[in-house]
Chains A and B, each alone.
Chain A
Amino acid sequence: GAGVSQSPSNKVTEKGKDVELRCDPISGHTALYWYRQSLGQGLEFLIYFQGNSAPDKSGLPSDRFSAERTGGSVSTLTIQRTQQEDSAVYLCASSSDWGGSLNEQFFGPGTRLTVL
């Protein structure tokens, strides 16, 4: 596709349920990022994938959060046993080569998660 896509666009779930959020990065982009944006707040870094390197998971807020990237392309962010404080917009971004350069991150439209 032309840009980063995310699905679903909206997700409403009950407290305690697991959810999976999907990100399709721009074709050929080797770097992929997940952010969380709470209401009225800036973006909070969650996790970073770059090629075949070990992901930087330092931003994941708890062990209920996990993410994987299969085949160096599509990524899935999983939240287990969701809590109400997990309600937020989850944004995915991708960028081209790493190699020490500061490449523009292209963002998807986000998934709005509401935990009841």
Chain B
Amino acid sequence: GESVGLHLPTLSVQEGDNSIINCAYSNSASDYFIWYKQESGKGPQFIIDIRSNMDKRQGQRVTVLLNKTVKHLSLQIAATQPGDSAVYFCADLDSGGSNYKLTFGKGTLLTVNP
């Protein structure tokens, strides 16, 4: 079946370094992608999204890159801080099929060492 998955289940970085979290998706019809951050004991929180007509989108300290050719998505966090420690999920959606049914990956645990 189709799924959204992550290359790395865990990532440990030093405070101040840049972090890159990767995600592979399999549904070629997916045209909308979201990154969520989930801190321990909390629900996922929206970070940034990107549509398939874009290759890159920047937010505050975060950048999402989309490579449709290889169906790969990445989240870059600049100057990683201890507060960035969390599980990060990518999710994809085929808006032509459903405009609400997101498919989530398993998540990457990011640990920021002070």
CB distance from B28 to the nearest CB of A (A): 18
Summarize B's interface: helix, strand, loop or mixed.
loop
Q: Is the CB of A45 within 8 A of B102?
A: yes
Q: What bracket does the count of chain B residues touching chain A fall in?
A: 20 to 34
The residue from A98, A100, A108 contacting B43, defined by CB atoms under 8 A apart: A108
Contact flags A36-57 to B (C-beta < 8 A → 1, else 0): 0000111111001010000010
- Tell me the count of chain A residues lying within 8 A, CB to CB, of chain B: 26
Q: Which residue of B lies closest to A104 (CB)?
A: B46
Task: List residues of chain B with CB within 8 A of the CB of A44.
Answer: 104
The residue from A31, A40, A107, A108 contacting B100, defined by CB atoms under 8 A apart: A31
Which chain B residues have a beta carbon within 8 Å of chain A's beta carbons? 4, 32, 41-46, 49, 89, 91, 93, 95, 98-107
Which chain A residues have a beta carbon within 8 Å of chain B's beta carbons? 4, 31, 33, 40-45, 48, 50, 56, 91, 93, 95, 98, 100-102, 104-110
